[in-house]
Chains A and B, each alone.
Chain A
Amino acid sequence: MRTRTIFLFALIAVAAVASRAEARHVRFLGPHPIAAKFGGGYCYIEAPHMHVYAPDHANLYQQVGEDWVFTGDPTPFGYEGERHPFYGHHPVIVDGSPEPVYCLIEGPHFHAYAAPSTPDYRVKDGVAFYVAPIPPAYVKPARVRVVNAEYRPYVSFRPTVEVAPPPEWHGEVYVGAPGVVVGAPGVEVSAPGIEVRGPGVFVPPPPHVAVEVRGPGVFVPPPPHVVVGGPRVVVGAPGPVVVGAPGPVFVGERREGHWEHHDNGRHEGWGKGGGEHGGGWGGGHGRGHH
């Protein structure tokens, strides 16, 4: 009995050591938020790289092979640098991805990169609208819902955008917070006690609320959203909301950002401290293997 107990303990110890040795890195492609238990903040590495942690907000990533690509707005995660406003879904600019990656955030949001100057984008008053079609495989409604639910706590970080979308844009007009005004022709919506006026307006049946319980945490899906016909309007959160005719265009930012100048000190050249390698690396210290 005693021998058996010792053997069992030894087996557990070996298994623990083995699992530690096999701790695998998680692969990332492009910048992304740093996991909270590793200090939080933002990782600025653009090249493919690895960390010992998995993403905290997996829904704001698209997996490309083994790599995680962050598709969200970096603002809420401590990102410091240049920011460019986008509106609605669009491809994510990421080097080295073998497949397209899409940002599925509805409404106004920021990215660290500017929209490329291609016919696929219309930039109105500094806000980029992606006007080309996105393959349906990347815009599944369930995925869109999950992404926007994940982003809902960060609504205050969105840019304030008051702009009539270009006619060739086919996205959904987002009304995210109380008191926000978004231009849309001939439709007026107010909430709570939603009042809808306008030609050809379709009000869908009352939204339902579902609660999904997962152990050990509890996940509550986002509040119901109302979709009004005509130009599609999404009301993302309850509160007095007015959607009016296209009005004056205003683009603002709640927070000003700037590129953080990163200077790691004076250039002191190669080999300082390395003695013999002062002239560079090509010095031929290698052993031939080929």
Chain B
Amino acid sequence: MRAAWKSAAACATALALTAAIGCSKKPTEGGVRLQQISDAFNAAGLKADNFQPTDPSRFNATKCLAGRVDDVDTVVCEYGSPDALALGKKAGEQWVGNATTAAVLGNGRTLLAVADRAHTDPNGKTIHKITQAFTKTR
């Protein structure tokens, strides 16, 4: 009986620690990375289709992936330095071309470029969801 209580107490402590670590999530050292953006999009319920590596040199990046998120053209890139990210934003603005609606944002070491070329998101609710998930990632 006593052993069972001890075991229960140990489990409770472990749960409390896990919760504490989860609640006090610190910003990632060195800035947000692509994997975290992927996780954030997953958590936001966004559906990514056909994401493939794309030429990172076009965006001055070290790594880029392009595809569609909820039917909106999307590119995400990772950078080695903030200066490279600044250059990447300019390249992202060229990539969006003449899309009716577009956004190019940076967060940590990552870049997000979204472009609604097919006018599938007329009121921007999907792009809002994507950009919100991206900018809130820490």
A residues near B (Cβ < 8 Å) are: 23, 25, 31, 34, 38-39, 41-52, 260, 262-274, 277, 280-282, 284-290
Interface residues of B in 88-138 (CB under 8 A from A): 93, 96, 98-105, 122-129, 131-132, 135
The reply to whether A43 and B63 form a contact with Cβ atoms under 8 Å apart is: no
The reply to whether A47 and B70 form a contact with Cβ atoms under 8 Å apart is: no
The reply to whether B51 and A274 form a contact with Cβ atoms under 8 Å apart is: yes
The reply to whether A270 and B62 form a contact with Cβ atoms under 8 Å apart is: no
The reply to whether A47 and B37 form a contact with Cβ atoms under 8 Å apart is: no
CB of B56 to closest CB in A, whole Å = 5
CB of B96 to closest CB in A, whole Å = 7
Residues of B within 8 A of A290 (CB): 62, 79-81, 84
Query: Which stretch from B2-10, B12-20, B23-31, B38-46 is at the chain A interface?
Result: B38-46
Interface string of B53-76 (1 = CB under 8 A from A): 101110011111101001000001
The reply to whether B101 and A263 form a contact with Cβ atoms under 8 Å apart is: no
Residues of A within 8 A of B55 (CB): 287
CB of A81 to closest CB in B, whole Å = 10
Residues of A within 8 A of B34 (CB): 281-282
Q: Which residue of B lies closest to A80 (CB)?
A: B123
- Bound state CA distance, A258 and B37, in angstroms? 30
The reply to whether B101 and A23 form a contact with Cβ atoms under 8 Å apart is: no
The reply to whether A263 and B80 form a contact with Cβ atoms under 8 Å apart is: no
- Bound state CA distance, A280 and B41, in angstroms? 10
